Structure 1
Amino acid sequence: MPWFVKIEEGIVEKPEFDQHVPAHKAYVKDLIANGHQARSGYWTQRGGGMMIFQAESLEEAKAIVAKDPLIQNGCVRYKLYQWQVVVE
């Protein structure tokens, strides 16, 4: 399965962002349970993060990202990329 990367930038204040983090973590755990090998984290400097995951296609990756609580609640602006692995 191809890999995809969602690079995000926070666009709301931290208290608002933080109230959606538990739902985001549950969402990522569900992706892992369903075979997408998802990992999510944030940059050590405040204001953004990244999620990497596998999906069958760009269309599926877009649908996966659309279900992220951070996206649904307008907490981040993001870009989605297909990542081509060259060394495993």
Structure 2
Amino acid sequence: MPPLDRIVASVRRSTREDVRVILRERRGGVGVELRVAAAKNGRGPMVETPQGLRLPPERLPEVIAALQDAQRLAASLGLLPGPAKGTAGEE
């Protein structure tokens, strides 16, 4: 069976870069990677760069909760499009 190497999502960071969310097996262990992909010389297909981070899958709930907290705070500060909904920490 080939190792797990699946791009789950790709989020546009800029006109030349994406951030990829990847489930990847390395050295016998599976990890969740957030990896920058960039077009070489600003043109052509996106290629993964060494920039990024790797976390064990069991840390996903903590990371997701932290991102949701950041989203609520950004919304309450008017940093996201649309009306602010509540304040940080409210459910």
Q: Higher relative contact order at CA 8 Å, sep ≥6: structure 1 or structure 2?
A: 1
Q: TM-score, normalised by structure 2?
A: 0.29
Q: Kindly name which structure, 1 or 2, has the bigger radius of gyration based on alpha carbons.
A: 2
Higher helix share: 1
Q: TM-score, normalised by structure 1?
A: 0.30
